[in-house]
Amino acid sequence: MNALKLHKKLEENNALLIFGILLVSSLGGLVQVLPSVYQESLRTPEANTRPYSALELAGRDIYISEGCSTCHSQQIRSLVAEVERYGPYSRAGEFVYDRPFLWGSKRTGPDLHRVGGKYSDDWHRIHLVDPRSVVPTSIMPGYPWLAEKDLRSDDIQAKLRGLRSLGHPYSDEEIENAPAQLEGRKQIDALIAYLQMLGTGFVEPESGAGDSSE
Amino acid sequence: MSSEMTTQPQYYHDEIVKRLVQFSVAWAVLAMAAGVFVAAELLWPTLDMGQPWLSFGRLRPLHTNGIIFGFGVSALMATAFYSVQRTSHVPLFAPKLAWFLCYAWQLLVLSGGLSLLAGMNTTKEYAELEWPFDIAIALLWVSFGIVFFGTISRRKIRPIYISNWFYGALIIVIAMLHIVNNLELPVTWTKSYSLYAGAQDAIVQWWYGHNAVGFLLTGGFLGMLYYFLPKHAGRPIWSYKLSVVAFWAFTYSYIWAGPHHLHYNAIPEWVQSLGMVMSLVLLAPSWATLINGVMTVSSAWEKLKTDPALKFIVLSLAFYGLATFEGPMMAIRSVNVVSHFTDWTIGHVHSGALGWNAMITYGTFYYLMPRLVGTELYSKRLANVHFWLALAGTMLYIIAMWAAGVSQGLLWLSLDETGELAFGFRDIMSSMAPYYGLRLLAGLIFLGGTLLMAYNFYMTTRSRKTVKVEPPVVDPAFGVV
């Protein structure tokens, strides 16, 4: 039976065609994606990587909600120029508490993976509300409403509990105290807390050799 | 012949097709207008007037989702329903379900779009909608499958025509990708967390993201090509054998190419390399289809002079060839070092989305609308003007973004003689304004053409009802016994 005859069967049978498409299209995923989902090294945190605090998590969710990742990547590629510009390249272990990942696909603005600690809280506060007051040529939109809107605290326990069920190590006490961390704060406070901890999950080992950025 | 079996005449369900075409055109106008607006925001960042819902980060996903799920999917449903009836010689299966799908889908895109403006956003590209919408999409997609495969299973013609395989692959593979990528844990009605974290989430997302492009924007629209190109040209597809080979090669190899979106990122190197190699392999089935398409029209060139619809389809083939060549090139790691994160990617996407998807859809709609309403197109001249606007807009867009992207990529990477960075990020960014201006102009030109088409269709369909068409008699040699 030659191949065309076999194919004649396929193209005259609805169910066989459906099955054939499903089989052929799922091979790539099974061989390439599935092993990665079970790869232990991709879910092992770096030594300094910790879960987000309640305030940082709330800030991260604002970053997500405002679509910051449409213009800012969080992924420093292992290239000399990138490491010089932004700092140590990104390690898989730094992202184990990131649901979803926020690596982005476009840098209209600069990469933010190691932005934590680069600017003061006050700088961020002014910059987020009116970017052009500190960077005159910036094309980033302003976010004045973040400084006005109160931070929600009624959903934070559900969020932390959800993440705990996915394996993030939050204690009962942390979940208990979470709303108190958020109360009375503005949305911009949470976002700044998140920005300031970005990229701090990895600390370069003191090598003494001096050339450790590669 | 068929009248022996049924006393009442059977008609194709073309009202649904017409309605879906109208929705698709409406989404094209709305989503492209959103695109033009966000393009303008990159020049004048205060255009959002301090309104959260007008902010770039919220509007940009509205633009992409509106194009893909509003314009694109409505067009795919319309053309799939039109062609599956004719290639099967039977009316649609479960027409009530099809009508429900037609309206429910629009409602989903509309409410999903509003949810994005309200700040409900998972950030996973082309899967930004939150979990309640994900469930609704899955259910509606299943009803799409029931109508489509149900019609095929009642067909009166033995072979299943090639266009239906591509539409079938669209339905099956997108269902698989959508469900796996959107596995998430809802924590409130408006918020969920992905079941995958970090690098693993990235790998799953780009398996989805790349193949949403693959099986929706490429495969689905190839279904359109395989039915409407031969119809337009008035001759059968050049090589049926080649289309068979190209289909299976396409279905097998596309799915592997996702990791080229993550070159030099924090994922295993073998995954990146495999993604790159398979992206290059993909060139073969892509161009096999290109050759098949060009050879099919090659004896009908004279029709190009008189038929604006065919002009659109032939031009879409050219951009299909261009985009499917550029894609594998950008997947090569050393090229990707320059192109990744830059406007080059945006240019590449639009050479596909404007040049291929929109053009073939426009060509198909110009073919369909007069036939659905049983009259001549209101104005052939306007259609010709639209053709030149679409071509000019697309070319200008691609050139502007290519120039912007390549210069961004090279300037970001350039080091001076002492090994220090040669240019600051802010200087590079602020030098982009001229390119962004050209892009805005390109978008306006393309949108203008689309508006002309919408007006042309409005005038064509005004006060006319869809013509009823009976399935033709089946040649017993090909009929199902």
pLDDT in tens, A119-174: 999 999 999 999 999 999 999 999 999 999 999 999 999 999 999 999 999 999 99
Q: Does B11 touch chain A (CB under 8 A)?
A: no
Assigned superfamily of B218-370+379-462: Cytochrome c oxidase-like, subunit I domain (1.20.210.10)
Q: Does B21 touch chain A (CB under 8 A)?
A: no
Residue A81 lies inside a defined structural domain of this protein = yes
Residue A83 lies inside a defined structural domain of this protein = yes
- Rounded to the nearest angstrom, the minimum Cα separation between A110 and chain B is 7
Contact B464, B371 (CB under 8 A): no
The pLDDT, as a whole number, for residue B105 is: 98
Contact B71, B27 (CB under 8 A): yes
* Calpha distance B137→B210 (Å, rounded): 19
Spacing of C-alpha B373 from chain mean position: 25
Percent helix, strand, coil in chain A (nearest 5)? 50, 0, 45
The pLDDT, as a whole number, for residue A207 is: 59
What does the pLDDT average to over B17-46?
A: 98
Instruction: Encode pLDDT of B355-399 as tens digits.
Output: 999 999 999 999 999 999 999 999 999 999 999 999 999 999 999
The pLDDT, as a whole number, for residue B383 is: 97
A139 CB-contact burial (10 Å; exposed 0-12 / middle 13-18 / buried 19+): buried
Give per-residue burial for A102-126: e unless 16+ CB within 10 Å, then b.
bbbbbbbbbbbbbbbeeeeeeebbe
B235 CB-contact burial (10 Å; exposed 0-12 / middle 13-18 / buried 19+): middle
Asked whether the beta carbons of residue B58 and residue A67 sit closer than 8 angstroms, the reply is yes
Residue A20 lies inside a defined structural domain of this protein = no
Residue A210 lies inside a defined structural domain of this protein = no
- Rounded to the nearest angstrom, the minimum Cα separation between A179 and chain B is 15
What does the pLDDT average to over B235-248?
A: 92
Asked whether the beta carbons of residue A37 and residue B204 sit closer than 8 angstroms, the reply is yes
For residue B185, what are the β-bridge partners?
Answer: B193
Average pLDDT taken over every residue of chain A: 92
Residue B95 has pLDDT above 80, yes or no: yes
**Residues in chain A within 8 Å Cβ distance of B215:** 25
Could you identify the residue written with the tokens 């592997």?
B256
The pLDDT, as a whole number, for residue A1 is: 54
* Calpha distance A62→B331 (Å, rounded): 32
Which residues, numbered 296 to 355 in chain B, qualify as contacts with chain A under a Cβ-Cβ cut-off of 8 Å? 337, 340-343, 345-346
Q: Does B263 touch chain A (CB under 8 A)?
A: yes
Instruction: Tell me the two tokens of residue B349.
Output: 């996407």
Range of the domain at A189: 41-197
Q: Does A170 touch chain B (CB under 8 A)?
A: no
By Cβ distance, the residue of A8, A29, A159 closest to B255 is A29
Its ipTM equals 0.94
B360 CB-contact burial (10 Å; exposed 0-12 / middle 13-18 / buried 19+): buried
Instruction: Encode pLDDT of A32-65 as tens digits.
Output: 899 988 888 898 999 899 999 999 999 999 999 9
What does the pLDDT average to over B463-477?
A: 87
Instruction: Encode pLDDT of A162-208 as tens digits.
Output: 999 999 999 999 999 999 999 999 999 999 999 999 999 998 876 55
Work out the widest C-alpha separation in chain B, in whole angstroms: 88
By Cβ distance, the residue of A92, A135, A162 closest to B266 is A92
Residue A214 has pLDDT above 50, yes or no: no
**Residues in chain A within 8 Å Cβ distance of B413:** 79, 81
For residue A106, what are the β-bridge partners?
Answer: B341
The pLDDT, as a whole number, for residue B1 is: 43
The pLDDT, as a whole number, for residue A4 is: 73
The pLDDT, as a whole number, for residue B481 is: 59
Instruction: Encode pLDDT of B291-347 as tens digits.
Output: 999 999 987 888 888 889 999 999 999 999 999 999 999 999 999 999 999 999 999
Give pTM, 2 decimals.
0.95
The pLDDT, as a whole number, for residue A5 is: 79
Domains: count for chain A: 1
**CATH number, domain containing residue A76:** 1.10.760.10
Residue A203 lies inside a defined structural domain of this protein = no
Residue A25 lies inside a defined structural domain of this protein = no
Q: How, if at all, do strands B191-194 and B184-188 pair?
A: antiparallel
What does the pLDDT average to over B44-65?
A: 96
Asked whether the beta carbons of residue B201 and residue A141 sit closer than 8 angstroms, the reply is no
